[in-house]
């Protein structure tokens, strides 16, 4: 008997280079008579390099369905003509919610952009959605911003389950904490449950294994080495694994002349037998993530491995553009775990789950089908 293929047609906003997108492509639930999976039908972003990366890796046969345009100018009907959607994902810009920076929150340049996600939900009414943002979101404006965002998603017609995921607990070789909000349309008798990290606790998710196993080919794309100045090389010689420019014992002439806040990731070396610290997409000298033994910054390909991108996933653009794309992405294998949990819920397949740790209480059945 041929298996029934149940497909969630997927649209993505603020798609970036495709961390969520690749996780969506990889997510699948195979049963005896059914296969549940996602299929991209359109995606949007305003960054040309990121759009090219997304097209080449995720939608090579539907390149025109990746719309490279400012979300504030996109015509909903244009996307509707491509396809209706069952699932919407979006990592709305986090610049104004990040703990690094001014934290302007909902009043900043990027903070209000989440409302376009709300507008898309109201217009397309997909069965479910996934929204992602930084941990700082829950603290912006003393938590009021977070409450407003959750309320707006609910008003759009969705029961929402927000949770702070610590990706290193899910086998990802990086300490990266992100808020993921999953919403299911209120007229659908399905509740989402946060997947438990228990079965991933014994994964070997060290930085050393991620970068070295298997070895990265010398001719791998996006693997250009940074030309370190002799001064930086000399400074790194005094920094041990896990230390940074302010915690290491460094000769005075090599110390950084910094007043005020001292960011802990400046010239910080990785600890080889632990997950990496958070890979970022921007920042000046000293923020590029540094090898535990070699006196250099990581290459973009090494950073991509810490983000769980496979080596065949090639990023378009300049070296700095690639760095931004890698650092801004959701780790695909982390996304896959959450996206498969959504499919399990709709397929009514039980799995281990935990109570959400922030925001609204865990939804009870109330007569609805639970996972």
Tell me, what CATH number does 141's domain have?
3.40.50.150
135: which residues sit within 8 A by CB, 6+ positions away? Answer: 99, 164, 177, 178, 179
Residue 99: per-residue pLDDT: 41
Cα Rg of the chain, angstroms: 21
Kindly state whether residue 46 falls inside one of the protein's structural domains. yes
CA distance 303 to 210: 10
Kindly state whether residue 346 falls inside one of the protein's structural domains. yes
DSSP lists the bridge partners of residue 194 as 354
Range of the domain at 59: 4-204+330-354
Q: In a 10 Å sphere around its CB, with 0-12 CB exposed, 13-18 middle and 19+ buried, how is residue 320 labelled?
A: exposed
Residue 30: per-residue pLDDT: 95
Q: How many other β-carbons are positioned within 10 Å of the β-carbon of residue 98?
A: 18
CA distance 238 to 216: 27
Asked if residue 272 has a cis previous peptide bond (ω within 30° of 0), the answer is no
Kindly state whether residue 249 falls inside one of the protein's structural domains. no
pLDDT of the chain, 371 residues: tens digit per residue: 678 999 999 999 999 999 999 999 999 999 999 999 999 999 999 999 999 999 999 999 999 999 999 988 998 888 988 989 999 999 987 544 444 444 444 444 445 788 889 999 999 999 999 999 988 888 777 778 888 899 999 999 999 999 999 999 999 999 999 999 999 999 999 999 999 999 999 999 999 999 999 999 989 999 999 999 999 999 999 999 999 999 999 999 999 988 766 678 899 999 999 999 999 998 888 999 999 999 999 999 999 999 999 999 999 999 999 999 999 999 999 999 999 999 999 999 999 999 999 854 444 444 343 44
Catalytic residue check, 94: yes
The label of the residue with tokens 């008798």 reads 189
H or E element: which one contains 11? strand 4-13
The tally of domains found in the chain comes to 1
Kindly state whether residue 251 falls inside one of the protein's structural domains. no
175: which residues sit within 8 A by CB, 6+ positions away? Answer: 166, 167, 168, 275, 276, 277, 278
Beta strand 66-68 with 87-90: parallel, antiparallel or unpaired?
A: unpaired
- Largest distance between two CA atoms of the chain: 74
Residue 260: per-residue pLDDT: 63
Kindly state whether residue 160 falls inside one of the protein's structural domains. yes
Q: How many other β-carbons are positioned within 10 Å of the β-carbon of residue 112?
A: 15
Structure tokens at 362: 């865990």
Kindly state whether residue 29 falls inside one of the protein's structural domains. yes
Please count the CA atoms within 13 angstroms of the CA of 330 that sit on its side-chain side: 33
CA distance 320 to 284: 11
DSSP lists the bridge partners of residue 48 as none
H or E element: which one contains 90? strand 87-90
244: which residues sit within 8 A by CB, 6+ positions away? Answer: 264, 265, 266, 267, 268, 269
Residue 363: per-residue pLDDT: 47
Angle at 104 between CA 102 and CA 105, to 5 degrees: 130
Q: Are 106 and 145 in contact (CB under 8 A)?
A: yes
Kindly state whether residue 272 falls inside one of the protein's structural domains. no
Q: Are 140 and 106 in contact (CB under 8 A)?
A: yes
DSSP 149-206: HHHHHHHTTEEEEEEEEEGGGGT-SB--EEEEEEEEETTSS----EEPSGGGTT----
H or E element: which one contains 44? strand 34-45
CA distance 157 to 319: 42
The three-class DSSP label of residue 353 is: strand
Kindly state whether residue 122 falls inside one of the protein's structural domains. yes
Residue 1: per-residue pLDDT: 65
Catalytic residue among 94, 128, 345, 371: 94
């Amino acid at each position: 008997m041929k298996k029934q293929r149940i497909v969630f047609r997927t649209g993505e906003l603020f798609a970036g280079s495709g961390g969520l997108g690749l996780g969506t492509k990889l997510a699948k639930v195979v049963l005896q008579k059914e296969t549940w999976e996602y299929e991209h039908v359109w995606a949007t972003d305003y960054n040309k390099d990121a759009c090219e990366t997304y097209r080449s890796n995720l939608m090579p046969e539907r390149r025109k369905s990746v719309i490279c345009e400012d979300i504030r100018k996109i015509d909903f009907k244009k996307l509707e003509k491509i396809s209706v959607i069952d699932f919407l994902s979006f990592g709305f810009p986090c610049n104004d919610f990040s703990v690094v920076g001014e934290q302007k929150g909902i009043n900043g340049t990027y903070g209000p952009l989440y409302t376009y996600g709300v507008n898309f939900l109201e217009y397309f009414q997909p069965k479910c959605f996934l929204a992602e943002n930084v941990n700082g979101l829950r603290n912006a404006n003393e938590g009021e911003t977070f409450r407003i965002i959750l309320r707006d998603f609910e008003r759009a017609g969705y029961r929402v389950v927000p949770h702070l995921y610590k990706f290193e607990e899910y086998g990802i070789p990086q300490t990266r904490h992100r808020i993921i909000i999953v919403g299911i349309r209120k007229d659908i008798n399905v509740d989402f449950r946060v997947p438990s990290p228990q079965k991933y606790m014994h994964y070997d998710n060290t930085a050393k294994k991620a970068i070295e196993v298997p070895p990265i080919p010398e001719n791998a794309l996006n693997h250009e080495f940074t030309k370190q100045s002799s001064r930086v090389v000399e400074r790194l010689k005094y920094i041990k694994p896990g230390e940074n420019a302010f915690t290491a014992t460094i000769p005075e002439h090599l110390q950084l002349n910094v007043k005020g806040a001292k960011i802990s990731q400046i010239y910080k070396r990785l600890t080889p037998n632990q997950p990496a610290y958070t890979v970022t997409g921007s920042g000046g000298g000293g923020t590029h993530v540094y090898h535990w033994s070699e006196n250099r910054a990581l290459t973009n390909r090494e950073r991509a491995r810490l983000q769980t991108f496979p080596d065949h996933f090639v990023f378009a653009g300049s070296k700095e553009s690639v760095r931004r794309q890698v650092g801004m992405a959701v780790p695909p294998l982390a996304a896959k775990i959450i996206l498969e949990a959504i499919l399990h819920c709709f397929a009514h397949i039980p799995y281990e789950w935990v109570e959400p740790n922030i925001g609204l209480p865990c939804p009870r059945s109330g007569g609805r089908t639970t996972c």
